[in-house]
Amino acid sequence: MDSAAHTTALSEEQEKLDEAFAGRDRILAHVDAQLATQTRDATQMARMQLLRRQRAELQNADHGLIFGRLDAHDRTVRHLGRVGIPGATDDDDPLVIDWRAPAARAFYTATPVDPQGQARRRHVRTLGREVVGVDDEPLDGSAETELVGEGALLAALGERRTGQMGSAAATLQREQDDVVRADARGPLIVQGGPGTGKTVVALHRVAYLLFTYPQLAAQGVLVIGPSPRFLDYIAQVLPALGETAVVSSTVDSLVPGIEVERAESRAIAELKGRASWQQSLMNYVAARVPQAEDLELLWEGESVVLPASSIARALAASTSGRSYHAARTAFAERIHELLADAVVEHSEALLAQAEEGFEDILGKIDAGLARSDDRALPDGARGSEIDGTFSDEDVERLRERISTDRALTQLLDEWWPTLEVESELRRLLTSRELLHLWMPSLSDSDVNLIVGEPTGWAPSDIPLLDALYDLIGSLDARGEQGEFLAERAAAQRDWVYGHVVIDEAQELTEMHWQMVLRRCPSRSITAVGDIDQTEAPHQHTTWEHAVGAALATRWTEARLTICYRTPSEVMALTGPVLARAGSRNEPPRAVRSVGIEPWERTVSADDLPASATAAVTTLAASWSGGTVGVVAPVSRVSDLRKAMPDVPVLTAAEAKGLEWDATLLIDPAGIAAEPRGWNGLYVALTRCTQELGQLHVNA
């Protein structure tokens, strides 16, 4: 595009942006006026919630209100942006089409080979209310590129990193958009190497699903990330896309009120992450249910014995499909019914015996009562109070009295006691006998490792606690979930979400996957990760192994194959590392070169802190306004943090999912020597968007 044409395009798009902002401001004023009205009933309250959500979306659209334009062969022109802006009247075309709408899809998928009726795609770069650039991409085959909006994409990738992830709605590529808009029914596993945009795709998929299926907002979406640092990093993306019906959490914080109190060995973490714990815990809890036997109860001074056969039937009916405490409550209700029936049957039997031989006397009494004035009867007397026969109302009152009888409640509590979840798990994990009984797959050495652990909850205990909370259940009955509120859902362990997104899903153990399924029984799940970046202690090297215990074969895989973030100069180093990690995959193909070759130096262990500090200072000066990160072996992190307190110094596991303009990689051999170290080195090498430096350490 020549200078004159570029100036004309800027002016044209500025006029359109001004019109869109005027429309946005007009809608905001209308929404504010409606929100100021009095809320009277539940219907209006639900409408107010939708209005508040619409207001948040409109306010968050200041940046990128318009970011794209499609010119069709039929001369139809459509502008795309973060939110949809209708025309001034119902007859007018929309000023802006929401990027998630079906009409916007060609912006991400049209190619010169398959233009989908489009003649040109334009990326519009804005700064607030000002258009600062345009990039035109003809779709007639005159420009050869495999990227959608190459100019805008490379400009975005070349921007300085701020320490927080930004939205990429304007620059999503075709294979990424395919994942964003994929069917939400059933689990979707997205395999993608470093820099392929896994996290961006997952978060934009959340925004797309909430836009396309508004009912999901009533249940909410759970986003699970690998660390609090990572959640902070992505925190601005969804609000920027206008989505607030989201809860973010790590797997360690999914159980409200329970916190990780200590670290643990990799061996322990692997043992307690195995899928076999789920069935073992089910068997363990089921064994705490009392066995059927004759149950002697005392009612109004008389002993009533419920036979073992009746108790067995009551247990079978109560325990089916219920948690321990829910079954206990149902059983107590059944016992109240059985006791009432027994009392009625016993009373009527006694009456029948008393009536034998006294028919004449009773007949005279009945005749006399019939001739007497009704006022001779006690006021309100009826049923068994008159003739010993129980009416339905009598039986119901009897059951109410039985259900509130303290002595009976105490007896049932002793026969079927309540359980405390944390105490039960401690009881199991500290007993060799119980572990051998309920986890027969564990060897003697495995059991000794578990029993020998110190007190305090470790990360691998959280899924076990969650399973027990589900199996034992609450003592308080819960009603319907009601209206979604992020704080409320996060505080409720058994909240059922409409969709779950998992980032770095390759790190989840089999028991972690059970936690996920409990929170999303519909299995509407998007899990993104890279099996080659796995650092968890489990032995899974394929997605089939990683998710097979939880999902069997009922899942779909999608692949992201293009690396947008990491420069080709750096990705060239990853092939041998992947091979040493035992990977079966090819590294993603980098489409971007920065012209900066990775560099490396060797220093002594004594000089390492000073050399690292000097290298970081140089990198920070080179990438002023951006970020520099340091990745090092676990054994060196503490000293390096002391030497560089203001610099993010992380292990390979901690750096996962993060990115910086420049990365200083300390002691690559030390990282490779760690458990699953070649996978960790693969992670460490691929964190930068511009420059990579390595400091090797002499022994």
Q: Is 548 part of any known ligand binding site? A: no
Q: Is 193 part of any known ligand binding site? A: yes
Q: Is 195 part of any known ligand binding site? A: yes
Among residues 121, 213, 214, which one has the least CA distance to residue 172?
A: 121
Question: How far is it, in rounded angstroms, from Cα 637 to Cα 682?
Answer: 18
Query: Regarding beta strands 188-192 and 556-560, do their DSSP bridges make them parallel or antiparallel, or are they unpaired?
Result: parallel
Q: What is the chain's Cα-based Rg?
A: 34
Q: Is 126 part of any known ligand binding site? A: no
Q: Is 133 part of any known ligand binding site? A: no
The DSSP 8-state label assigned to residue 96 in this structure reads B
Question: How far is it, in rounded angstroms, from Cα 83 to Cα 97?
Answer: 7
Is there a contact between 601 and 611 (Cβ–Cβ < 8 Å)?
Answer: yes
User: Looking up tokens 């050495």, which residue turns up?
Assistant: 445
Q: Is 198 part of any known ligand binding site? A: yes
Element containing residue 119 per DSSP (H, E): strand 118-127
Is there a contact between 225 and 420 (Cβ–Cβ < 8 Å)?
Answer: no
Q: Is 537 part of any known ligand binding site? A: no
Distances (CA, A) of 688 to 193, 556, 565: 14, 30, 8
User: Looking up tokens 């796995």, which residue turns up?
Assistant: 534
Phi-psi map region of 149: left, alpha, beta (phi>0 left; psi -120 to 50 alpha): left
User: Looking up tokens 């929404």, which residue turns up?
Assistant: 31
Q: How many Cα atoms are found within 13 Å in the side-chain-facing hemisphere of 197? A: 29
Question: How far is it, in rounded angstroms, from Cα 117 to Cα 135?
Answer: 19
Distances (CA, A) of 515 to 216, 273, 614: 20, 11, 45
3-state SS string for 51-105:
HHHHHHHHHCCCCCCCCEEEEECCCCEEEEECCCECCCCCCCCCCEEECCCHHHC
Residues in the chain: 699
User: Looking up tokens 């951006």, which residue turns up?
Assistant: 626
Q: Which amino acid is at 573?
A: L
Burial degree of 422 (CB within 10 A; 0-12, 13-18, 19+) = middle
Q: Is 192 part of any known ligand binding site? A: yes
Binding residues for ATP: 192-199
Binding residues: 192-199
